[in-house]
Structure 1
Amino acid sequence: MVHLLSSERPTMAAAPLTLWRAVANWFARAQARRAMRVAYQSLLEYDSARLDDLGINRQDLFEALDSPSQRPALRLAQRRAESARLWLDP
């Protein structure tokens, strides 16, 4: 039987490809989360003055490490922006 459109293809024929794609996506997300965790841990090695120059503190990093599901990069960016705003307009 010939299928002219991809929408005519049986769904079971696409299932193995979808499964492999899902597994590959899961591994890619896990690798990205690990890379971010390593980056945050390397920031913990900085002294307090350097972290203050970056606009964050150790507590911000600990919160980012403890709650990776709550978009820690966005949270750190917001803290940096708030710190910059307070520095420019006390």
Structure 2
Amino acid sequence: MALSLPGERSVAAGSHVNPARALFAWFTRAKANRTRRAALTSLLDLDAAHLRDLGITRQDVAEALLARDGRTPGMVLNAARSRNAR
């Protein structure tokens, strides 16, 4: 545990975190995620022929919905498109 001298500022006091800005950023990310999820689920409503025209399958869309570990849904679908183009 580190001790601070009476004249020193704490780390928390020196940070520039604005709670209102953090909350706004969280709402913005949540809205973007909801919009992205709605777009991906609308792809599931397409028939197999339309998905094939796009170069993806239903399984590719399902994998994009569950994209994790730094991969975005776009990355998953682009990889599927290039894999299916061969």
Question: How far apart in 2 are the matches of 1:20 and 1:79?
Answer: 39
- Partner in structure 1 of residue 83 of structure 2: 82
- Partner in structure 1 of residue 20 of structure 2: 20
Structure 1 portions without partners, runs of 5+: 1-9
Question: How far apart in 2 are the matches of 1:66 and 1:23?
Answer: 25
Give the drift of 1:11: 4.0
Question: How far apart in 1 are the matches of 2:47 and 2:68?
Answer: 23
Q: Say if 2:43 is the partner of 1:46.
A: no
- Partner in structure 2 of residue 56 of structure 1: 56
> 2:51·2:57 contact (CA, 8 Å) conserved in 1?
yes
Identity over the aligned pairs, expressed in percent? Answer: 41
Question: How far apart in 1 are the matches of 2:75 and 2:21?
Answer: 27
Give the drift of 1:52: 0.7
Question: How far apart in 1 are the matches of 2:64 and 2:79?
Answer: 12
1:48-79 per-position Cα deviation (integer Å, ceiling 9, x unaligned): 01101101100011112233563111111111
Q: Say if 2:86 is the partner of 1:72.
A: no
Question: How far apart in 2 are the matches of 1:47 and 1:68?
Answer: 26
Stretches of 4+ aligned residues off by more than 6 angstroms = none
1:12-69 per-position Cα deviation (integer Å, ceiling 9, x unaligned): 7x55xx1111111111010000001000110101000110110110001111223356
Structure 2 length-normalised TM: 0.72
Secondary structure of 2:46 counterpart? coil
- Partner in structure 1 of residue 6 of structure 2: none
